[in-house]
Amino acid sequence: MAPDARGRVAELHAMRAEVLRGPSDRATAAQHGKGKLTARERIALLLDEGSFQEMEPLRRHRATGFGLEHNRPYTDGVITGWGTVHGRQVFVYAHDFRVFGGALGEAHASKIHKIMDKAIAAGAPLVSLNDGAGARIQEGVAALAGYGGIFQRNTRASGVIPQISVMLGPCAGGAAYSPALTDFVFMVRDTSQMFITGPDVVEAVTGARVSQNGLGGADVHAETSGVCHFAYDDEESCLEEVRYLLSLLPRNNRENPPAEPGDDPADRPCDALLDLVPADGNRPYDMRRVVEELVDDGEFLEVHERWATNIICALGRMDGQVTGVIANQPQSLAGVLDIEASEKAARFVQMCDAFNIPLLTLLDVPGFLPGVDQEHGGIIRHGAKLLYAYCNATVPRVSVVLRKAYGGAYIVMDSQSIGADITYAWPTNEIAVMGAEGAANVIFRKQIAAADDPEAMRRRMVKEYKAELMHPYYAAERGLVDDVIDPSETRRVLIDTFAMLRSKHADLPSRKHGNPPQ
């Protein structure tokens, strides 16, 4: 190698060493002092060891005003590239808060645009590690345009590749809309916040004083707003769960989720189910224990665990095949559907359908939640979102009526009439327009009022209604369920059914797109 070439190589190595060192030890210490890892430390935890290939590490901004001309660090505050998670390709970008507070400028945005384009072209998941202070004020409208390019690509990638946003620091203003457009949002308690307007603006406009965490912290978004799907105490746990989620998702919408055959027998009897679910429809129980019995090794990942707790949405495996589970939770609000539960389940159904994940629906639903707040809040519109999502889904769909399934909620929860491929019921099922008490009071109100003993007449009519219209085999006799099964056989029956449906092919009518209820 010629001397001048050796000099150039040495210069390159020096530049790369500077890139890896980052801005300064002081900046790194400050990041650690906040309980936060650096961008490179986060990438190392997310990706398989030694798999990261960085893209544009030597990129610098070209802004020349407001002091930026004297401060042109490499990477421009964002690290981009690709690597593997469990041996499967993943693209990633990570804001480096040590450089300009992770603020987005023109070069910074260009790097993100490029890695997003690569992820879409390669058909591989995209993970963003967010820790930035918003738009770089010194670059003006160029920074704002950079956000527009990110939003446009988030939308183009939606339903094509899995997009996961991991919030590891502040995310304010318009920047918060990128995570909102992705499939999953992870947050870390105390160190990550998301809001459109910060506490100072809120106080100035409304007079209300609130902390950053009280306004947009992980617990607020996991429990109240539903913006956050998963919340963890530390970055290590958070990133480990991101890896687990990626193991359950396909690389793109043209592939099926990865199968992982295990040791849990497909024909394992579930005798515990006979005792888990009380025959009395008014007695609560924990539906999570039912899900544990059905999935492989009792292991599943619950999405939105702390928001809209009256419905469960989870990803698990059955005989090694990834399955999306939607189940009413009788322990919370008796398992009714309300505005938030409808939105939560609708979004989950759409995600599963987009990424070829079969759907298992477990019904124990007394109806929609009554109330002025629900009606004025648009329960009709929000409930229709779940109905639309199920009707639009083309993946294999199997439902099981465990106990009660009343009224419109029964129809909405993937009944056979809206396209469920196979519907089963347990011998404890009650499928009806409403509960027997309410139905008898409506149908036989005149006879009850005219009786010498109205209460005795009412009890008699309730018993008669149950015997005629709510016995466990009424729906089966009319072909509205395909079979009534022994609860202990549920896992085996479901696995056999999903295996039968694995080659299902269904086409929607030709159209640009639907117009779902909003």
pLDDT at 66: 57
Q: What is the Cα gyration radius of the chain? A: 27
CA dist list (Å): 497 to 156, 417, 502: 34, 18, 9
> Would you report the helix, strand and coil content of the chain in percent, each value rounded to 5?
45, 20, 35
Cβ neighbours for 239, distance < 8 A, ≥ 6 positions apart: 42, 45, 46, 166
Query: How many Å apart are CA 70 and CA 72, to the nearest integer?
Result: 6
Sign, CA dihedral 424-430-432-434, equals negative
Amino acid, res. 121: A
DSSP 135: B
Is 173 a known active-site residue? yes
pLDDT at 65: 58
Q: Which of 364, 340, 376 lies closest to 287 in space, CA to CA?
A: 364
- Identify the residue whose tokens are 């409304």: 206
pLDDT at 57: 85
pLDDT less than 70: residues of the chain? 1-3, 15, 18-20, 22, 61-72, 137-138, 434-436, 438-440, 467, 469-470
Q: Quote the tokens at residue 56.
A: 């544009």
pLDDT at 448: 77
CA dist list (Å): 222 to 125, 238, 346, 476, 518: 23, 14, 17, 40, 22
pLDDT at 439: 66
Q: Which of 290, 302, 288, 311 lies closest to 248 in space, CA to CA?
A: 302
Q: Quote the tokens at residue 174.
A: 């318009």
- Identify the residue whose tokens are 């919408």: 253
List 124, 143, 222, 409, catalytic entry:
409
List 173, 320, 419, 438, catalytic entry:
173
Query: How many Å apart are CA 20 and CA 387, to the nearest integer?
Result: 51
pLDDT at 488: 97
pLDDT at 70: 62
pLDDT at 480: 86
Query: How many Å apart are CA 83 and CA 87, to the nearest integer?
Result: 9
Is 408 a known active-site residue? yes
CA dihedral 446, 450, 456, 460 (to 10 degrees): -40
List 140, 408, 419, 438, catalytic entry:
408
pLDDT at 506: 85
Length of the chain: 518
Query: How many Å apart are CA 21 and CA 293, to the nearest integer?
Result: 50
pLDDT at 157: 97
Amino acid, res. 486: D
List 159, 174, 281, 438, catalytic entry:
174
Is 409 a known active-site residue? yes
| β 88-95/78-85 pair status | antiparallel
pLDDT at 23: 79
Cβ neighbours for 337, distance < 8 A, ≥ 6 positions apart: 310, 311, 328, 365, 367, 368, 369, 383, 386, 409, 412, 413
